[in-house]
Structure 1
Amino acid sequence: MSDISLDDRGFTLGQGLFETVLWAGGVLEYWDDHVERMERGCRALGLPLPPRADVAAAGEAALAAAGRPARAAVRLNWSAGSGDRGLDPPEAYAPRLTAVASAIAAPAGPVRLATARTRRNDRSPASRLKTLSYLDNVLARAEARAAGADEALMLNTAGEIACAAAANVFWARHDEVFTPSLDCGVLDGVLRRQVIAACHALGVPVQEVYANPGRVAGAPMFVTNSLMGVRPVASLDGRDLPASTLVAAIAKAVSRAPK
């Protein structure tokens, strides 16, 4: 892992991207999906693409430095690199790649959600990218913790359901599954794609929608990200939500999907 310069635009402006990859069972799960998403983000931000061999080497080095724990979160950062002060980009980018691995426990039990006041800015292109600027998500998570929940439910500027602070959101009604459209300011999650594919394989209708909070009231919910997989939601804003055999079937299908 290289040192970060004080004039690095990732440090000073949040200009850059990151991916968090699960290391479990001796495998970096959905590795190609994560690298491809980082490349899509680079194209959107006008940054050079990181060489794939360098990304793989950085991930392996981070795991080695952490002692290769049984289960770990491997964080890859691709920063815009050094530049003069101010907002104008350098004439030529020289991005920096860093990586760190941290041992983590397997997730246990369902999640409690609390709706945050902090909104997801669906009008910003950054809302659909995994950028180094995550302050809104940090604030939303802090709100949820203060409310006694584990995770935040974030609405967008139109008051529509968008996502959790660090996860995609789904709910079920009448044997159908729903998730917010990417246009709601939603990250194109790696596990989100896996859930949609699993629903198709199971013959379960899945819809990407624009929905206000009333659409999910009392419905079984679940959240997904690469580290926790598929986790049911126990409660929203202090109100218990029902368990669902459909959610359990989707979680099982995703866990068996090729990585």
Structure 2
Amino acid sequence: MTIWLNGRLIQAAEARIDPADRGFTLGDGLFETIRIKDGLPRHLPRHLDRLTAGVELLRLPLPYSAEELTGAMAALIGAAGVADGVLRLTLSRGTGARGVLPPADARPTLLMTVAPAAHMTAPGAAIVARSTRRNEHSPLSRLKSLNYLDSILARQEAAERGADEALLLNAAGRLAESSVANVFLSVGGRLLTPPLTDGALPGIRRALILERHGAEEAPLTPEDLARADEAILTNSLGLRPLVAVDGHPVGSGAAGPVLARLLADPDL
């Protein structure tokens, strides 16, 4: 398997991450998951804009320009021979001495890998997580940080309760997102999604649906799931109907016309 690590294409078996890397020891870093279609990374400028916003917030050095990253991705995709797949970019602050305060002369680690596509299309059954909540007051709720433990706890709970996904509430008890996706509800002819201020991640497809399909941001509660005609999960890998929550059907309990309309948009 060919990967890209700190400026070089190498085989995964040859790769080495320093044991003192803060991405490993502290989760000090960011990542982006980017869909590859027809050999090209989709919506790349939006992904790079989100990455740039994240590094600015964390004061995390990014030693490559957008043009250099674009070229590196093209080289990796070509070397891997993946036309339909997913690219994962992982950026950590690099090595540092023990302690929380980052080093002043941080040398980031940047890793990129590609894999065959993992399409997110099958109907999903979720639970509303009880084990954890999303902190809408933390700036980290707006980042793809390397710490995904809230999502891991929620997905473990879902598996234990016989579901394949978990919805996370925020501290106020409102819907924020699922463990790996943004949430849209079709309620009374309106397509609604939780606002960023309620802890929703600024997803790439989320933004496109807001821009192109008349969706609106609105605070949502678990009770809104019972009123919804459809529920849809979205992330960079696809769109998925959410057909049941806590054992109760959402709407008809099947994919609906709103999802069909979104899937018909080739630019999503």
TM-score (norm: length of structure 2)? 0.87
Q: Is the 8 A contact 1:182 1:188 kept in 2?
A: yes
Structure 2 residue corresponding to 1:224, chosen from 220, 230, 234: 234
Shift of 1:61: 4.3
Q: Is the 8 A contact 1:71 1:106 kept in 2?
A: no
Shift of 1:247: 2.9
Shift of 1:4: 1.4
- Counterpart position of 1:245: 257
Q: Is 2:136 the partner of 1:126?
A: no
Shift of 1:96: 1.4
Aligned partner of residue 168 in structure 2, secondary structure: strand
Q: Is the 8 A contact 1:18 1:78 kept in 2?
A: yes
After TM superposition, list the pairs within 5 Å mapping 1:169-208 onto structure 2. 169-200=183-214, 206-208=215-217
Q: Is the 8 A contact 1:71 1:105 kept in 2?
A: no
Q: Is the 8 A contact 2:193 2:216 kept in 1?
A: yes
Aligned partner of residue 264 in structure 2, secondary structure: helix
Supply the AA of the counterpart residue of 1:248.
A
Supply the AA of the counterpart residue of 1:211.
L
Q: Is the 8 A contact 2:40 2:74 kept in 1?
A: no
Name the CA distance, whole Å, in 1 between partners of 2:91 and 2:113: 12
| Aligned residues: CA RMSD | 1.7
Greater Cα shift, 56-65 or 112-121: 56-65
Name the CA distance, whole Å, in 2 between partners of 1:199 and 1:149: 29
What are structure 2's unaligned runs of at least 5 residues? 6-15
Q: Deviations over 1:192-213 (max 9, x none)?
A: 011112213xxxxx32122221
Aligned partner of residue 73 in structure 1, secondary structure: strand
* CA 7–29 in structure 1, closer or farther in 2 if over 3 Å, else same: same
After TM superposition, list the pairs within 5 Å mapping 1:87-126 onto structure 2. 87-117=100-130, 118-126=132-140
Name the CA distance, whole Å, in 1 between partners of 2:179 and 2:58: 22
* CA 58–77 in structure 1, closer or farther in 2 if over 3 Å, else same: farther
Q: Is the 8 A contact 2:77 2:83 kept in 1?
A: no
Q: Deviations over 1:75-104 (max 9, x none)?
A: 001111111110111112211110111113
Q: Deviations over 1:22-49 (max 9, x none)?
A: 1122221111111111001011111123
Aligned partner of residue 217 in structure 1, secondary structure: helix
Supply the AA of the counterpart residue of 1:159.
G
* CA 208–96 in structure 1, closer or farther in 2 if over 3 Å, else same: same
Q: Is 2:86 the partner of 1:73?
A: yes
Greater Cα shift, 157-166 or 1-10: 1-10
Shift of 1:64: 4.2
Any runs of at least 4 consecutive aligned residues in structure 1 with deviations exceeding 6 A, and if so which? none
Name the CA distance, whole Å, in 2 between partners of 1:165 and 1:150: 10
Aligned length in residues: 249
- Counterpart position of 2:12: none
Supply the AA of the counterpart residue of 2:179.
A
Supply the AA of the counterpart residue of 2:241.
P
* CA 62–151 in structure 1, closer or farther in 2 if over 3 Å, else same: farther
- Counterpart position of 1:203: none
Q: Is the 8 A contact 2:60 2:93 kept in 1?
A: yes
Aligned partner of residue 187 in structure 1, secondary structure: coil
Name the CA distance, whole Å, in 2 between partners of 1:152 and 1:57: 36
Percentage of matched positions with identical amino acids: 38
Name the CA distance, whole Å, in 2 between partners of 1:184 and 1:54: 35
Name the CA distance, whole Å, in 1 between partners of 2:213 and 2:108: 38
Q: Deviations over 1:95-143 (max 9, x none)?
A: 1110111113434432211111221111211111001111111111121
What are structure 1's unaligned runs of at least 5 residues? 201-205
Shift of 1:162: 0.3
